[in-house]
Amino acid sequence: MDLLSWQLGLPFTLLSLAFGYLLGSIPFGLILTRMAGLGDVRKIGSGNIGATNVLRTGNKKLAAATLLLDALKGSAAAFIASYWGVEAGIAAGFAAFIGHLYPVWLGFKGGKGVATYIGVLLGLAPLMVLAFAVIWLGMAKISRYSSLSALVATAIIPVLLYAAGNEKVALLFTAMTVITWVKHRANIRRLLAGTESKIGDKG
């Protein structure tokens, strides 16, 4: 029976992975900056396609739109695929996260994933988004480091999910947290060296 269930669920899982990846790989930061006539966002700042680098164009509204859309693509992938089952939603959410980090259209060079991480969290465990926000804001107020705030929040979320008994989703976010930390390794080095930019710093 277990084998039969797995065989029946496999096509939906594969479809969810493909759907999630394709949705997650849409480079909204690049698309929006080009539409606004600001050129290729990959050629400024960190070369990243995420909201933080879009902000370096000086357009706060565009950065906010990028943040929102990068989050919503994770939410949409997880939420829509969840109609095929929890496992399908988890697969699609993870694939959307990977798609944002490694979009095939951009030579697998994407963003760092925090916005999409939050979006997937919204799609699978919406109440935990509030916990993420509280942790991030608390750390940001204390340290004034955006990157540190995100790293701490992503480290705590899987623990809270496990404590809430949501083990499957907790496992997903454990994996996503590890990947997020790896993608932030340059930020971690700067934090340790005391050279990371703080919130509100110019240039």
The alpha-carbon radius of gyration of the chain (Å, integer) is 17
Q: In the structure, what pLDDT confidence band is assigned to residue 92 with cuts at 50, 70 and 90?
A: very high
Q: Regarding predicted confidence, which is higher, 46 or 107?
A: 107
Tens digits of residue pLDDT in 55-78 = 888 888 998 999 999 999 999 999
Run of H or E residues at 135: helix 127-143
**Domain ranges across the chain:** 1-111, 125-203
Kindly state the DSSP code that residue 44 receives in the 8-state scheme.
S
CB 86 within 8 Å of CB 166 = no
CB 29 within 8 Å of CB 111 = yes
State how far the Cα of 120 lies from the Cα of 198, in Å rounded to an integer.
27
State how far the Cα of 170 lies from the Cα of 162, in Å rounded to an integer.
6
Residue-level pLDDT at 79: 94
Residue-level pLDDT at 44: 82
Residue-level pLDDT at 9: 56
pLDDT at 142 over 50: yes
* DSSP code string of 17-33: HHHHHHHHT--HHHHHH
CB 75 within 8 Å of CB 87 = no
pLDDT at 24 over 70: yes
